[in-house]
Amino acid sequence: MKRTYEKELVAALSAGLAIIVLAWTGAQAFASNWIDSLGVLSVWFYGPISAAAWGLLSAISYVLIVRAQRHNPALCPEHEEATRELRRKTCELRKVPQCIEFVDQLERDKLGALMGGFAITIATWLALLSFAPHDWLDGIVSTSPWLYSLASMVVWWGSAELMYWGFRHSRHQASSIPDAH
């Protein structure tokens, strides 16, 4: 059975997002005068531009990842699948999961929860920054960015945990596969 390129897609999306976040962080840290010269534009202006750049950078990342796989067979999904099958055959029977689909579901649920938690975090920030009063936004500038980073990580972690619990709970109710937890 051939594996789809889900891992490559997620890696490319993550790389594109990391580049965008680093670019905005770097621009604010090292070119704040340039950011200020842009004026106070709505998040609805910066959002689509950032999303388009994220899409473009993710597409470029995906092409580079797939291209690297062609040059190095060890990175190829088929090699990974063959290695996984070989490990499964040499592993002690008690360590082999009873149902491979269950392990795949767990991986998909974890990945979906992480991506969903991140989406909730970004949507929360967009909503706060779009609809907050201007006085409140002026107060943000005097607060340490580390506080916002910590708050973002807590929101991301919490929402990812809730989403993972929801995925597992709904899947457990709809499936005949026993839950390992």
pLDDT tens-digit map of 138-153: 777 777 777 777 888 8
pLDDT value, residue 76: 63
89 shares a domain with 11: yes
129 shares a domain with 119: yes
135 shares a domain with 71: no
77 shares a domain with 107: no
Is the full-model pTM beyond 0.95? Answer: no
For the chain, give the mean pLDDT: 76
What angle separates helix 145-174 from helix 100-131, to the nearest 10 degrees?
140
3 shares a domain with 86: yes
Structure tokens at 73: 């067979």
Pick from 69, 96, 123: which residue ends a domain? 96
Query: Do the Cβ atoms of 62 and 12 come closer than 8 Å?
Result: yes
How many other C-beta atoms are found inside a 10 Å radius of the C-beta of residue 120? Answer: 17
pLDDT value, residue 29: 75
pLDDT value, residue 102: 66
The domain tally of the chain equals 2
Q: Helical H runs in the chain? A: 6-30, 32-37, 43-71, 77-90, 100-131, 134-141, 145-174
Q: Please give the Cα distance from 19 to 94 (Å, whole number).
A: 43
pLDDT higher than 50, residue 49: yes
Structural domain for 48, as ranges: 1-96
